[in-house]
Amino acid sequence: MARATVLGRLTWRVATVAAVRDETQNARTIVLDLPDWPGHLAGQHVDVRLTAPDGYSTERSYSIASAPEGNRLELTVDLLPDGEVSPYLARVLSAGDPLEIRGPIGGWFVWRPERPEPVQLIAGGSGVVPLMAMIRTREAGGARAPFRLLYSTRGPEAAFYRDELRRSSENGSGLSVTYAYTREVPQDWERPPGRVDAGLLAQAAWAPEREPISFVCGPTGFVENVADLLVSAGHDPARIRTERFGPSGGQP
């Protein structure tokens, strides 16, 4: 559990890369050690700042993928080919390197383990990252709220955390996972490739009568489409929380 809210301004601090591991062909997880990390809530993000030798600096927000665990923090970064920051994080950065971080940030798009109501997670592409932090936090704390994840990716190869999600959904803890593939589907897959639509939502998501809280994260167009579908299906807009990653499906 995160320690109490930290008071005072947030300032930049230097993390050390403990390890990196590939998630997909284009995405990898960066494990960071941060002395005096105050803990975080599932769904929060950090800002990462890169500074060039000539002094030019730029910053981006990245969702935290891990459950709170001491001074360890994991980010999963998706490579955007014309990005300014992600190519360095996803290709160059390696164990032992320093990385400037500001965080944890955000009190809105967060899930707290003491919440009892069912949770509907809906991810588009790398939007699964903060939702994974919620799944991991739930599992780490033995929380009881039933979770459903609807995860839309281009195809099976593009999905993050596939093995872990399979294990977590098979261990009887009350997590169910449904994949929606937009471009390529595995053999014998019932549903043709396509976007999340009202039919799939009706099949895979909690019914509005269960009064779930929904967290939707992904590219801007995906998030707005899914939020509209949820409202049309009868979900209370006040129980839908969204986080948009921008038009390209990630933070550059």
Partner 1 sequence: MTEDHIDGNAAGGALRDIFTVDLTAAVGRCSSCSQSLALAEARLYTQAPGLVARCPGCEEVVFRLVRGPGRAWLDMRGVTCVQFELPTGS
The footprint of partner 1 (CB under 8 A) covers 4-5, 7-11, 45-47, 59, 61, 102-103, 105-109, 219-221, 224, 242-247, 251
The tokens for 114 are 């003491």
Axis-axis angle for helices 162-170, 128-141 (nearest 10): 40
All residues at 6 or more sequence positions from 181 whose CB lies less than 8 Å from its CB, including other chains? 152, 153, 154, 155, 156, 189, 191, 193
- Beta carbon of residue 227, minimum distance to partner 1 (angstroms, whole number): 10
Among residues 65 and 175, whose Cβ is nearest to partner 1?
A: 65
- Beta carbon of residue 44, minimum distance to partner 1 (angstroms, whole number): 8
- Beta carbon of residue 191, minimum distance to partner 1 (angstroms, whole number): 25
CA distance 12 to 100: 6
- Beta carbon of residue 183, minimum distance to partner 1 (angstroms, whole number): 19
Type of residue at 64: I
CA distance 117 to 119: 6
Among residues 96 and 247, whose Cβ is nearest to partner 1?
A: 247
- Beta carbon of residue 85, minimum distance to partner 1 (angstroms, whole number): 13
Among residues 45 and 235, whose Cβ is nearest to partner 1?
A: 45
Terminal CA-CA length for the chain: 30
Among residues 162 and 241, whose Cβ is nearest to partner 1?
A: 241
What values do phi and psi take at 91, rounded to 5? -125, -35
Among residues 92 and 238, whose Cβ is nearest to partner 1?
A: 238
CA distance 50 to 100: 7
CA distances from 144 to 85, 101, 123 (A): 38, 32, 21
